[in-house]
Homo-oligomer: A and B are copies of this chain.
Amino acid sequence: MTLDSETKAVELPEDHADELRLWLRLLTCTTLIEGEIRGRLRERFDVTLPRFDLMAQLDKAPDGMTLSDVSKRMMVSNGNVTGLVERLVESGHLDRRTSDTDRRVQVIRLTKLGRAEFRKMAAEHETWIADIFGELTEKDVRELMRLLAKTKGSAQKAVQRRQD
């Protein structure tokens, strides 16, 4: 508290250094972990992270997904998905067909090969994550989940505000 709390109401050049540091730390953590996962995926399975992520989305959707769905879920651009899918169809991991009811829509799903390979990778991937977060207690994990959920909500509202 300052002595003159009246000034708090006025639009002063506020200090947001803490939030800035928080953002940088969040970014550092993610970049560090992402790089580690990327490296292990390449080393162990010769697969890229985006390919793995796309397959992870499809593994959760046995009936397939449209490209738009994938794009929204992965939070990447449409054009990006087009290219990724192209390469995964080429390598035999994905099956792609035009929807029967709407000829604009492409439905993609994992092939047998794709699913089998993904499951193998996913099992190991999970142990890597456990290793990486190994020093956190159960309570730490719960608390982080809670705070990140709050952060996500706060950020989504900021996005919303800008789009108005």
A interface vs B, CB < 8 Å?
14, 16, 18-23, 25-36, 39-40, 75, 126-136, 138, 140-141, 143-145, 147-159, 161-162
| Residue of B28, B147, B149, B161 touching A152 (CB-CB under 8 A) | B28
| Copies per assembly | 2
B127 to A16, Cβ gap below 8 A? yes
Considering the chains assembled together, what is the distance between the CA atoms of A130 and B18 in angstroms? Answer: 9
What DSSP secondary structure best describes chain A's contact surface?
Answer: helix
A158 to B132, Cβ gap below 8 A? yes
Kindly list the 7 A-B residue pairs having the minimum CB-CB distance in the complex, ordered from nearest. Answer: A135-B154, A16-B130, A30-B30, A132-B158, A19-B133, A25-B148, A132-B155
* Chain B residue nearest to A20 in the complex (CB): B129
* Chain B residue nearest to A17 in the complex (CB): B126
B30 to A26, Cβ gap below 8 A? yes
B152 to A136, Cβ gap below 8 A? no
| Residue of B23, B130, B136, B138 touching A133 (CB-CB under 8 A) | B23
Residue numbers in B under 8 Å from A143 (CB-CB)? 143, 147
Considering the chains assembled together, what is the distance between the CA atoms of A158 and B33 in angstroms? Answer: 9
